[in-house]
């Protein structure tokens, strides 16, 4: 199953049994926006309080640390998600934020039938997917059977080692201005992890906000990674959310999903670690 679903297939699958649609839009008015309008049948998930489990100190795990697997399993149960469910998720940022994070989290507990809508919320509406103002109800079930995160995760010390290794690579997916230390709109310090390369997540997309073709994504990352083993590749962003967009793009291109550094720049920049502002 492709991790990204096109709009034609989305409309065809709308009435499928065991299909669960998830609205993962984020931001200060996300719940209000959901209540004003959402794709018909979609259940809302909260990036800040359900897809993250904050410690109160971004220096310990970053701005969006993962919840425990047990708490995530409880959330999935409340949403009515079982191992048989086919889940489709969207946000309003071309899958760049919580939609890709939700996709990664499902894949990380072994769930395969999870897809992100290509082009996101507005593209689905433009394609004729009906909307609703009804506060949708789930059909809760037992906790999802999951015991651990199965996809690879890197911690801050491993990132420090890999960034300086010749046979490994750390990929920073933030926009180039943040990477180069020209500005920093969210975290305390601008710049990047020394040794990390910059491949902005926006380069995964066409001008209309849809993902580039599988062949293009495969060629792009095959060239960038230069035959480096996936266990020596670490991807990060500002807080471990947008990095999942690049992991999603890699999966769409048929490339094995590498390690995610969940703490990302929000953790690194708060721990007296070295900071670079040059091109690498």
Domain 4-132, CATH among 3.10.20.740, 3.50.50.60, 3.40.250.10, 3.30.540.10: 3.40.250.10
Instruction: Kindly give the parts of the chain with pLDDT less than 70.
Output: 279-280
Cα dihedral value 204, 84, 16, 135, nearest 10:
-80
Query: Under DSSP, is residue 10 helix (H, G, I), strand (E, B) or coil?
Result: helix
Determine the pLDDT at residue 151: 98
CATH 3.40.250.10 domain span(s) along the chain: 4-132, 153-268
Query: Under DSSP, is residue 271 helix (H, G, I), strand (E, B) or coil?
Result: coil
Give, in order, the Cα–Cα distances in Å from 74 to each of 98, 115, 141, 240: 18, 21, 9, 21
Return the CATH superfamily for domain 153-268: Rhodanese-like domain (3.40.250.10)
Question: Phi and psi for 205 in degrees, rounded to 5?
Answer: -115, 155
Determine the pLDDT at residue 31: 95
Determine the pLDDT at residue 280: 57
Determine the pLDDT at residue 226: 87
- Out of 123, 163, 237, 249, the active site residue is 237
For the question of residue 244 being annotated catalytic, the response is: no
Task: Using alpha carbons only, give the angle 3, 144, 106 rounded to the nearest 5 degrees.
Answer: 20
């Amino acid at each position: 199953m492709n991790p990204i679903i096109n709009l034609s297939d989305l409309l065809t699958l709308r009435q499928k049994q065991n299909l669960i649609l998830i609205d993962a839009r984020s931001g200060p008015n996300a719940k209000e926006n959901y209540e004003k309008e959402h794709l018909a049948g979609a259940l809302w998930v909260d990036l800040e309080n359900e897809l993250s489990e904050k410690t109160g100190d971004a220096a310990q795990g970053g701005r969006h640390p993962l919840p425990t697997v047990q708490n995530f399993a409880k959330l999935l149960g409340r949403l009515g998600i079982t191992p048989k469910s086919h889940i489709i998720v969207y946000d309003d940022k071309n899958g760049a934020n919580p939609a890709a994070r939700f996709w990664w989290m499902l894949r990380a507990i072994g769930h395969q039938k999870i897809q992100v809508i290509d082009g996101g919320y507005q593209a689905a509406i433009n394609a004729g997917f009906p909307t609703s103002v009804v506060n949708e109800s789930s059909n809760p079930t037992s906790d999802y059977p999951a015991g651990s995160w199965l996809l690879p995760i890197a911690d801050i010390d491993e990132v420090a080692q890999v960034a300086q290794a010749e046979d490994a690579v750390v990929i920073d997916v933030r926009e180039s201005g943040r990477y180069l230390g020209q500005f920093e709109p969210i975290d305390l310090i601008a710049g990047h992890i020394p040794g990390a390369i910059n491949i902005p997540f926006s380069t995964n997309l066409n001008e209309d906000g849809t993902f580039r073709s599988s062949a293009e994504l495969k060629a792009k990352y095959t060239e960038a990674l230069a035959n480096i083993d996936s266990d020596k590749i670490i991807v990060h962003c500002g807080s471990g959310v947008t990095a999942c967009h690049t992991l999603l793009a890699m999966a769409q291109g048929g490339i094995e999903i590498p390690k995610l550094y969940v703490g990302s720049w929000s953790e690194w920049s708060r721990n007296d670690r070295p900071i670079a502002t040059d091109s690498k």
